[in-house]
């Protein structure tokens, strides 16, 4: 197995508040939170050095010791880099299995695949694969996401219409099941357990490794087309038009002309087609870190409005074929480490939803609803999505997805988002679970019509309901009847 470099997950240690028998196998009391910040919860964190160590530690659960009663009662959940915004990778009072030390991977050029342990990040893979002429077909907006997290959330990239989700390119995966056995799953195997694990938010077991199909690339360069438009409908038209497969629109929702946008469409090019000197590589380095005690009030609507104005004025009205490095284009937020701290102690809520094609007017309605509630949106990103896949809990469906970064301190935020949920659900859309921290069970049920199908597979694989998360408990993903 090749080894890549590490970057530490977003987990803050706190004073131990309790000690259980699991500490004997290395679990430590820790405060765990989502990427959106906030107070977090107390949990026992176990960071095994290998897949075998993880299995052995969990076997304690089946011993007659006190640990057994504790783990059975509180449950366990896998965690990667903690880049899910809400409570998907945490379990209050339970066991959190940090997979970030499972970091081996091997490239098989003959079969155009990479086999990676669950804790390897997208960035670590790209760092090795792209210079070797291979690309992961799907990457998210940050390089700091593990393979396990990418599969459990069935993530999509800026090229979903062309490439589908991450899960579509997984040929096989190893799953540590509730009974302690390791299952090798392939698409269509084990009565839907593969499809229920893809997008299953860690609730079918711990993904230990995956074999992922790759696409050939000539190097770390993209050719990028940029356009500025004055309104949301123009942005939708450009995203639906011809151009490169990586498409995204940044919207300014604080300006006087709501919805003015910068749209980029990008495609891979060979090194020969662009100046090598401008290549900064397949990944991006953090140029600064936001300090831990950043005063939250500094990120006010007036500050962001001014920033947006500068950004919009500096952007070219229309530019074609600019060569840009893959990492800098795909992962712009990674150049500022710990950026959610800009939102202050309470952090942010990211509200990401998808609407089916033909429901574009609901995008306007959601934006208008937040505006009327005086909830400021500091970052808004719009993408087109292609057809849904076979995984019952997978988020994407053919249409438009909008991700909105909203300060948690905003007065009336929860009530406004509850109303937005109703608009989204009535239009046949859904909220993205890996970004969520506040969705209600009835809204979840309305948005995910294949929920019962997923629950049936999950319950068969884990009848004792060992695998749980705060997301699963809050939305009753796991607990069945509403």
Burial class of residue 377, CB neighbours in 10 A (0-12, 13-18, 19+): buried
| Position 160 contacts ligand FAD (CB under 6 A) | no
Q: What beta strand segments (E) does 420-467 contain?
A: 430-431
Binding piece for ligand FAD, criterion CB under 6 A, among 147-155, 252-260, 354-362, 447-455: 147-155
Cα within 13 Å of Cα(332), Cβ side? 6
In angstroms, what is the minimal distance from the CB of 204 to ligand FAD? 8
Decide whether 149 or 259 has the Cβ nearer to ligand FAD: 149
Cα within 13 Å of Cα(150), Cβ side? 35
Q: Which residue in the set 130, 207, 254, 477 belongs to the binding site for ligand FAD (CB under 6 A)?
A: 207
Give the list of residues 6+ apart from residue 443 with CB closer than 8 angstroms, or none: 418, 421, 422, 425, 431
In angstroms, what is the minimal distance from the CB of 34 to ligand FAD? 7
| Position 382 contacts ligand FAD (CB under 6 A) | no
In angstroms, what is the minimal distance from the CB of 124 to ligand FAD? 12
Alpha carbon of 368 to those of 340, 361, 429: distances in Å? 25, 11, 17
| Position 75 contacts ligand FAD (CB under 6 A) | no
Decide whether 274 or 407 has the Cβ nearer to ligand FAD: 407
Q: Which residue in the set 30, 42, 74, 84 belongs to the binding site for ligand FAD (CB under 6 A)?
A: 84
| Position 148 contacts ligand FAD (CB under 6 A) | yes
Decide whether 79 or 341 has the Cβ nearer to ligand FAD: 79
Of residues 299 through 338, those in contact with ligand FAD by CB under 6 A are 333
Longest pairwise C-alpha distance within the chain: 68
Q: Which residue in the set 27, 54, 95, 155 belongs to the binding site for ligand FAD (CB under 6 A)?
A: 155
Q: Which residue in the set 58, 71, 198, 206 belongs to the binding site for ligand FAD (CB under 6 A)?
A: 206
In angstroms, what is the minimal distance from the CB of 310 to ligand FAD? 21
Separation CA 91–CA 131 (nearest Å): 39
| Position 469 contacts ligand FAD (CB under 6 A) | yes
Decide whether 89 or 221 has the Cβ nearer to ligand FAD: 89
Q: Which residue in the set 33, 83, 168, 455 belongs to the binding site for ligand FAD (CB under 6 A)?
A: 83
Q: Cβ(50)–Cβ(209) under 8 Å?
A: no
Q: Which residue in the set 202, 244, 274, 347 belongs to the binding site for ligand FAD (CB under 6 A)?
A: 202
- Residue whose tokens read 């090194």: 271
Structure tokens at 102: 């499972």
Q: Which residue in the set 146, 258, 308, 437 belongs to the binding site for ligand FAD (CB under 6 A)?
A: 146
Separation CA 461–CA 205 (nearest Å): 9
Separation CA 24–CA 269 (nearest Å): 53
Q: Which residue in the set 47, 61, 70, 156 belongs to the binding site for ligand FAD (CB under 6 A)?
A: 156
Decide whether 81 or 261 has the Cβ nearer to ligand FAD: 81
Binding piece for ligand FAD, criterion CB under 6 A, among 146-154, 187-195, 264-272, 278-286: 146-154
Decide whether 274 or 477 has the Cβ nearer to ligand FAD: 477
Residue 447, φ and ψ in degrees, nearest 5:
-90, -25
- Let me know the angle formed at the C-alpha of 137 by 251 and 458, rounded to the nearest 5 degrees: 90
Q: How many residues belong to the site for ligand FAD (CB under 6 A)?
A: 33
Decide whether 142 or 161 has the Cβ nearer to ligand FAD: 142
Residue 235, φ and ψ in degrees, nearest 5:
-65, -45
Give the list of residues 6+ apart from residue 242 with CB closer than 8 angstroms, or none: none
Decide whether 173 or 274 has the Cβ nearer to ligand FAD: 173
Count of Cβ atoms closer than 10 Å to residue 101 Cβ: 15
- Residue whose tokens read 């006010």: 300
Separation CA 274–CA 439 (nearest Å): 45
Decide whether 207 or 228 has the Cβ nearer to ligand FAD: 207
| Position 40 contacts ligand FAD (CB under 6 A) | no
Separation CA 105–CA 83 (nearest Å): 21
Q: Which residues bind ligand FAD (CB under 6 A)?
A: 35, 77-84, 88-89, 99, 118, 140-142, 145-146, 148-150, 152-153, 155-157, 201-202, 206-207, 333, 434, 469
């Amino acid at each position: 197995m090749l080894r890549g470099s590490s970057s530490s997950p977003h987990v803050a240690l706190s004073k131990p508040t309790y000690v259980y028998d699991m500490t004997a196998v290395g679990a430590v009391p820790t405060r765990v939170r989502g990427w959106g910040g906030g107070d977090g919860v107390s949990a026992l964190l176990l960071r095994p050095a290998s897949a075998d160590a993880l299995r052995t530690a969990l076997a304690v659960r089946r011993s007659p010791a006190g640990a057994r009663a504790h783990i059975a009662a509180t449950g366990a959940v896998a965690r990667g880099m903690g880049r899910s915004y809400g409570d998907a990778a945490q379990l209050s009072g339970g066991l959190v299995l940090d997979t970030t030390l499972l970091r081996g991977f091997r490239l098989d050029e003959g079969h155009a695949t990479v086999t990676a342990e669950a804790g390897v990040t997208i960035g670590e893979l790209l760092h090795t694969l792209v210079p070797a002429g291979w690309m992961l077909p799907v990457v998210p907006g940050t390089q700091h996401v593990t393979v396990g997290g990418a599969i459990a959330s069935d993530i999509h990239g800026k090229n979903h219409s062309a490439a589908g989700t991450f899960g579509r390119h997984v040929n096989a995966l190893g799953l540590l099941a509730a009974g302690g056995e390791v299952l090798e799953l392939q698409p269509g195997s084990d009565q839907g357990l593969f499809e229920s694990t893809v997008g299953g938010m860690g609730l079918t077991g711990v993904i230990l490794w995956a074999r992922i199909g790759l696409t050939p690339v000539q190097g770390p360069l993209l050719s990028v087309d940029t356009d500025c438009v004055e309104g949301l409908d123009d942005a939708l038209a450009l995203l639906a038009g011809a151009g490169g497969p990586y498409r995204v629109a940044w919207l300014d929702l604080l300006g006087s002309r709501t919805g003015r946008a910068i749209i980029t469409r990008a495609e891979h090019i060979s090194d020969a087609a662009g100046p090598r000197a401008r290549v900064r590589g397949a990944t991006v380095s953090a140029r600064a870190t936001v300090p831990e005690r950043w005063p939250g009030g500094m990120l006010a609507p007036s500050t962001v409005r001014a920033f947006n104005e500068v950004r919009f004025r500096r952007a070219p009205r229309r530019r074609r074929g600019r060569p840009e490095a893959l990492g800098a284009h795909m992962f712009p937020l990674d150049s500022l480490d710990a950026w959610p701290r800009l939102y202050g102690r309470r952090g942010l809520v990211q509200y990401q939803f998808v609407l089916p094609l033909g429901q574009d007017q609901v995008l306007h309605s959601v934006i208008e609803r937040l505006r009327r509630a005086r909830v400021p949106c500091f970052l808004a990103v719009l993408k087109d999505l292609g057809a849904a896949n076979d995984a019952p809990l997978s988020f994407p469906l053919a249409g438009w997805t909008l991700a909105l970064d909203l300060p948690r301190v905003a007065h009336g935020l929860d009530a406004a988002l509850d109303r937005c949920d109703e608009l989204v659900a009535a239009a046949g859309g859904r909220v993205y679970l890996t970004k969520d921290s506040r969705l209600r069970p009835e809204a979840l049920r309305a948005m995910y019509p294949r929920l019962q199908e997923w629950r049936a597979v999950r319950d068969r694989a884990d009848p004792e309901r060992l695998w749980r998360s705060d997301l699963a408990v809050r939305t009753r993903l796991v607990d069945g009847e509403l």
